[in-house]
A = this chain, B = another copy of it.
Amino acid sequence: MPRTLNVLEIQTQTADEFVDLTAKVKAVVQQSGVTAGTVVVFCPHTTAGITVQENTDPALKEDLFEALERMVPRDRPQKHGEGNAHAHMKAAMIGSSATVLVEGGKLLLGQWQAIYFVEFDGPRRRTVQVKVMAG
């Protein structure tokens, strides 16, 4: 039976990073054999998140990280012993998962959309769960 659950492995390179998962999520959907339903992409870490955002302009990602840093500066006093409370806050704002529709075996993403893992406390080895639900 084809698998509907896969775990992707990622090695982030810097403190803050967008990692485009779209091609890998498409491959999981195709291998699952599911032609209609949804796919859930879930981040099992608390200092990183998942978002669906613009797939073209690298400069936009710099703007997004700068906007997040103005809202949640990393050098604020904090009580959390590990000193990365800012990364937890940014992850909570971005969200821990994305749900995308599947139809005709394809992801129903908009023309300018990609599915991103967003690192806020790298570089680290990370995993991402991908589950295809038929329906």
Give the B-binding residues of A (Cβ under 8 A). Answer: 4-5, 36-38, 40, 42-46, 51-54, 57, 59-60, 62-64, 67-68, 71-72, 76, 78-82, 85-86, 88-89, 91-101, 103, 108-113, 129, 131-135
Contact = CB atoms under 8 A, between A and B. Distances in A.
Contact of A44 (B38, B78, B85, B113): B113
Contact of A46 (B72, B99, B112, B134): B112
Nearest to A76: B67
7 contacts: A37-B135, A45-B113, A51-B92, A63-B88, A67-B72, A101-B129, A133-B135
A53 B71 CA distance: 19
Number of copies: 3
Given A38-B133, A95-B95, A53 B46 contact: yes
Main secondary structure of the interface of A (DSSP, over half): mixed
A82 B36 CA distance: 34
A46 B115 CA distance: 11
Contact of A81 (B59, B131, B135): B59
A91 B38 CA distance: 21
Given A133-B37, A133-B133, A54 B88 contact: yes
